[in-house]
Chain A
Amino acid sequence: MALLGRACLLLALAVCVYGIGASLYGVRTGRSEWSESGRRAVYALAGILTVAFAVLEIAFLRDDFGFNTVAGTSSSTTPTFYKAAAVWSSQEGSLLLWAWLLSLWSSLVLFLTRRRLRDVAAYATAVLLGFGGFFVSLMVFYATPFATTSPAPADGVGLDPLLRHPSMMIHPPMLYSGYTLCTIPLAFGIGALLARRVDAEWIRATRRFAFAAWFFLGIGILLGARWSYAELGWGGYWGWDPVENASLMPWLTATAFLHSLMIQEKRGMLKMWNVSLVLATGTLAIMGTFLVRSGILSSIHAFGGATLGVPFVTLIAVLVAASIYLVVSRRDMLRTEHRLDSLLSRESIFLANNIVLVALCFVIFWGTYFPLISEAFTGQAASVGPPWFDRYTVPLALVLVLLSGIGPVIAWRRATLANARKNFVAPLLVAAATLIALIGAGIGAKPFAIAMFCCAAFVLGSVGQEFFRGVRARRAMAREPAPTALMALIRRNRRRYGGYIVHIGMATLFVGVAASSSFQHASELGLSRGQSTKVGAYTIRYVRPTATITPKDDRAHTGATLSLGAVLDVTKRGRHVATLRPSEGFYDSGDPSQGSVGHFIGGQAVSHVSMSAGVTRDVWTAIAPDISTPQLKRVIDIGNKTIPLVRPDEGLLAIAYMARAYLQNPPQAQFHFIVSPLVMWIWIGGFIGFAGGLIAIWPAPSTVRRRVAVRSSARAARSRLQRA
């Protein structure tokens, strides 16, 4: 079977090389059958990689441990869902996933544009096959998913316990979909520049894909933040880790692109911005893919695998150089006749939006790659921490939210005092009222948080005003009740009102971020059974310890051999707030040198946090139970000495004894306790934002018309169009 997989990869590589040649030949000589053949090469690539992916997936599901990747990331006791998802938890498997997704999206976009954009699409085909060929070559020459060992090992190592969570399994495909979708507009942008056709047509063709990239990347980022918060033992959702940043940067430029292309459509302006943003987004996506697997930056994700560094750096260098060359050499075509009439206009707000998003991206880029930059300039690698990032991103985020409130209501071309009065009074009043309410409520001296709340209120005010006026305008024309008018308004103006909903979602998200960062209460507690302590207004009591054992052949979700934890009772001013049950799971290390009992709990330790999520605040806790007390250590030592390795059942009995000892006499445990206000609104805001995005991109119902109907309705339309 692995042979089939390897054959597929070689065939894929051949198809990529052929397709690049055919497309370029077709477009240079004008012989469309060759461009057509090049396009079909992309379809063929998708088919071949589907077969390859299926081969790997089947190997995982069938426990074929002859495959090195299967042996390295799965085992016979891994639950089926995680087996299926373990395909992409290894370097090789993730490369295959990337290439496969790329081939699928490329096939889709080329199918949808098969009758238009002849030249542009041909160049784009070559670019996309270039990327596909790059990833396939990596698999063929550096890191093949189809390496085998003979004889096959009896069982595999199993999936890292940290990854045994549903959202961690969905997070990579989401992110990879986002990254691969970013390369589509990039390819078409390069194609448009090469074919010298930078009008609106290529944008129309790839707009849906730019949105899809934005959508999937955003969801991937949010899922990662959620996983980090709900599963990892540090209680935060964003740490400015290089890998987090790597996915955020292309998302920021994609956001800028989605906005800026509205201006190109309406006024023909910002063409240079649009091509640059598209090229930047694609390049940043490739850089993000590279960062996770290169080990050049220290982070929880990056390690080993220096073998892939050189090819990636080469690719990125080529992309950057080619992008700069293309934009500079075609700059005449990218000039516009229209200019900014006034700094106070909708066009300039969109421009400001571009600038802020790019500035944010630059700050994050600088901070993320700083170890490399400082090493290049000073010879010493140094890194900057979250405080540095916060110092610059917080004010920029404030400006961004403010702009998202001004944009919807400011006039085109030139905002006069008269229409400023008409459009800004209500939102400003809402913001002012919020400010007064916050100060009145005695919310502490946290200027940035207060500023963010007021900006968010401003956004809500301005978007609310837009909806209100829109409904009023519709009712003036159509005499409908308000709810119907609202639905009709949104349905007929999806892009506009969907976009407004995205702004509301983002403002909500930032409110959650501001509140949970500025007003968070975190503490380290040492508690013994029965003991209670106060943290702010909350009283926490260690009620009793918990211990569970998972027998070897139990296909339990966590798979930890031993889980030790506690039950905590949290009250506030006498009223019960939550009962928390944090625990720490100790996993088998499979290492006989730790002893017949020691190995059962000598492997990975994973903290299972306990959280009570509420609309106004989250109460979160993690436990670090102490298993190194003399009493418990004695159990392990005696077990190691007396129980032979080949009697795992007896070893487990010793573990059970240990658990009972822990329950009877629990040592003091360390608790990490956090109260974060408004965290839930981050997830709610994200959900609203993405729902709004879907509304914005949803195609209007296409009506099928016959020619006769078209002719007569065209005449009717013409007479309607010709106004007196």
Chain B
Amino acid sequence: MSISIALATVVLLAVVVLVVSAPLRAAGRALDPESQEAGGRHAARESAADRAELETAREAKYREIRDAELDYRTGKLSREDYDAVDRALRAEAIEILDRLEAPEEDCPKPRAS
């Protein structure tokens, strides 16, 4: 009984150490020229995350535009305030769309970590 418990503990310890030290070992390897491809994959993952971030921001901006319109239609924003707010929000939305489109025109470069 105690042998199996000791074994289980050792296994658990090993798994924990492996999991926790993985980034440190990966960082060590990244200075290696052969891992440029891995670096490229890493960069691609990074830019995908940035895209997701921008898409979330875009959806949030659309929601704000809809919200403002609903506020106006239910009497909580005056006409002048609505026009000003709406114009500002749409400008911000266009800005986000610009940033979403821009990276597609460049080639994704592998980034050295």
Contacts and interface: CB of A to CB of B under 8 A. Distances in A.
Interface of A: 1, 3-4, 7-8, 11, 15, 18-19, 22, 31-34, 36-37, 40-41, 43-44, 47-48, 51, 115-116, 204, 266, 346, 409-413, 416, 419, 422-423, 466, 469-470, 473, 476, 492-493, 496, 700, 705, 707, 710-711, 714, 717-718, 721-723
Interface string B51-94: 01101100110001011001101111110010000110010011
Contact of A48 (B16, B70, B94, B101): B16
Contacts of B93: 717, 721
Contacts of B87: 723
Given A700-B59, A714-B101, A37 B20 contact: yes
Given A11-B9, A710-B101, 7 more contacts: A47-B19, A51-B12, A410-B76, A411-B77, A412-B77, A419-B78, A718-B97
Contacts of B24: 33-34, 37
Given A493-B66, A714-B97, A40 B23 contact: yes
B26 interface: yes
Given A115-B46, A422-B75, A469-B74, A40 B20 contact: yes
B23 A721 contact: no
Given A7-B9, A48-B12, A411 B20 contact: no
Contacts of B19: 40, 43-44, 47
B41 to A, nearest CB: 14
Top 10 closest pairs, chain A to chain B, by CB:
A36-B23, A33-B27, A115-B49, A473-B73, A33-B23, A469-B74, A44-B16, A7-B9, A721-B90, A411-B76
B98 to A, nearest CB: 9
Contacts of B53: 115-116
Given A3-B5, A4-B5, A469 B75 contact: yes
B104 to A, nearest CB: 6
12 contacts: A11-B9, A33-B26, A37-B23, A40-B19, A41-B20, A266-B64, A409-B74, A470-B70, A473-B73, A473-B74, A492-B66, A714-B97
A115 B51 CA distance: 11
A423 B75 contact: yes
Nearest to A419: B75
A8 B12 contact: yes
A707 B62 CA distance: 19
A403 B72 CA distance: 21
Interface of B: 2, 5, 8-9, 12-13, 15-16, 19-24, 26-27, 46, 49, 52-53, 55-56, 59-60, 64, 66-67, 70-71, 73-78, 81, 86-87, 90, 93-94, 97, 100-101, 104, 113
A496 B77 contact: no
A23 to B, nearest CB: 11
Contact of B13 (A11, A37, A204, A466): A11
B38 to A, nearest CB: 14
A707 B51 CA distance: 10
A696 B42 CA distance: 35
B70 A4 contact: no
B52 to A, nearest CB: 8
Contacts of A718: 94, 97
Nearest to A51: B12
Contacts of B52: 115
Contact of B74 (A32, A51, A470): A470
Nearest to B93: A721
A710 B5 CA distance: 54
A678 B79 CA distance: 44
A14 to B, nearest CB: 9
B97 A723 contact: no
Given A11-B12, A33-B24, A411 B78 contact: yes
A411 B77 CA distance: 6
A3 B75 contact: no
Given A47-B15, A714-B101, A4 B73 contact: no
Nearest to B72: A473
A358 B73 CA distance: 33
Contacts of B66: 492-493
Contact of A409 (B12, B22, B59, B76): B76
A107 to B, nearest CB: 12
Q: Which of B76, B77, B101, B104 has the most CB of A within 10 A?
A: B76
Most chain A CB neighbours (cut-off 10 Å) among B55, B70, B78: B70
